[in-house]
Structure 1
Amino acid sequence: MIRTVIFDMDGVLVDTEPLHHDAFFRHFAELGIAMSREDYATFLGSSTRNVYQQLRQQFDLPQDVETLILRKRLHFAKAFEEDAALELLPGARALIEELHAAGVPLQLASSASKETIGRVFTRFELHPYFDNLVSGEDFPRSKPDPAIFLHAAQLAGMPPHECLVIEDSANGVTAAKAAGMYCVGYKSEHSEGQDLHHADHVVAHLGQLSAAQLLGFGVGD
């Protein structure tokens, strides 16, 4: 049975991907890096640190990883503060509140930095609903490595097979399944190009999910 739900953040709770995209591509332009849409899509679900570790090696960049990360985060912070229209994705708050009211412990496992997670959770007042917030910046490898989900389960005190993950990226779904967890793929308009076929269940809108349904997943599967 499912006893805790682990949410991804970007693309599941809030669509900050356009802000990250803008920040990355502004920085890529500064660095003289030509990045195709297809190549960029392979980074979705990865931490900023892992992205720059790969780019530094691939393009022989002289800056150290910390300097590269800081510059990108400055671009992101500016875009985040200036975007007054940014809201939680449709159905996200209702699902969180329903799960919380049902007594289901909630965890966050996001490749985003602690700073970005903090910005989102403060802006949308999500802290009271979640027991643990896990950032990908604390792990040497990003999703599809399952470490972030296994750590979230450990913090929650739950075995992996009693955890359900909601993810919108192929890397995230792969990580959840590698961790031995039930995975719901969220195939929204923001997950274009992401192959979620290996998720256990796929929805196009968070409104298609309920607390009772999520807690019943895994039984008899």
Structure 2
Amino acid sequence: MVNTVIFDMDGVIVDTEPVHYYSYHKHFKELGIEVTDEMYGTFTGFSTKNTYQAIVKEFNLSHEVDLLIASKREIFNNAFDEKADLELLPGVRNLIVNLYENGLQLVLASSASHVTIQRIFNRFKLHEYFTHIVSGEEFPQSKPHPAIFLRAAELSGSPVNECIVIEDSTNGIKAAKAAGIFCVGYKSENSVLQEISIADMTINHFNELNADIVRGLI
């Protein structure tokens, strides 16, 4: 029986991808490099650090990765604060509340930085529902490496066969499966380039899940 639900954040709880896309591409332009949408799509699920490590290698840049990260985050933070219409994805708050009120443990495992996670959690008042938050910046390798989900399961105190992951990216789903955790793939309009079908189960809307359904998934 499932005791713990591990949520990804970007593309699952809130859609910050347009803000990230704007921030990255503004920064790429400043750097004088052209990153195609196809290449950009391969970074989905990566931490900012791993993204810039790949960029530095691909374009043979001499810049320090930490400085690139800081520049991009400044652009992102300014854009985030200006985006008044940023909302949680449809139905996800109802699902979070339903799972929480029915005794399931919720853990966040996101490739986003701690700073970005805190901005989202503060803005939407999500802290009370989650027992633990795990950021991808804590690990040397990003999804599809399973470390972030193994750590989330460890913090929860539940064995992996009593956890599920909710993800919206190919790399995230691969990471969950590599960790031996049942994965629900959330198929949204923003995940059309992602291989959601490789998940153990797919949904198109969060109203397809509730505590009773989740408990019976395994």
Could you tell me which amino acid in structure 2 is paired with residue 101 of structure 1?
E
Q: Which residue of 1 aligns with 2:105?
A: 105
State the match for 2:182 in structure 1: 182
Aligned residues: 218
Residue number in structure 2 paired with 1:31: 31
Report the equivalent of 1:88. 88
Map Cα deviations across residues 35-75 of structure 1 (whole Å, 9 max, x no partner).
Answer: 11111101011100000011112212121111000000011
Distance 1:33 1:111 in 2: 24
TM-score, structure 2 as length reference: 0.99
Letter in structure 2 aligned against 1:147: A
What does 1:1-221 align with in structure 2 at a 5 Å threshold? 1-218=1-218
SS in 2 for 1:190: helix
Structure 1 vs Structure 2 CA RMSD: 0.6
Query: For structure 1, which runs of at least 5 residues remain unmatched after alignment?
Result: none
Partners of 1:68 and 1:126 in 2: CA distance: 30
Name the CA distance, whole Å, in 1 between partners of 2:173 and 2:149. Answer: 11
- TM-score using structure 1 length: 0.97
Residues of 1 paired with 2:47 and 2:9: CA distance? 12
One-letter code of the match for 1:106? L
> Residues of 2 paired with 1:130 and 1:124: CA distance?
13
Q: Percent identity?
A: 56
Cα distance, 1:198 vs structure 2: 1.5
1:45 & 1:206 partners in 2: Cα distance?
Answer: 20
* Distance in 2 separating the partners of 1:139 and 1:16: 21
Instruction: Give the Cα–Cα distance (whole angstroms) in 1 for the partners of residues 194 and 81 of structure 2.
Output: 28
- In structure 2, the gaps of 5 or more residues are none
Displacement, 1:29?
0.2
* Equivalent AA in structure 1 for residue 151 of structure 2: H
When structure 1 is superposed on structure 2, of 5-14 and 206-215 the one drifting more is: 206-215
How far does residue 33 in structure 1 lie from its aligned partner after superposition? 1.1
Shift of 1:197: 1.5
What SS does the aligned partner of 1:112 have? coil
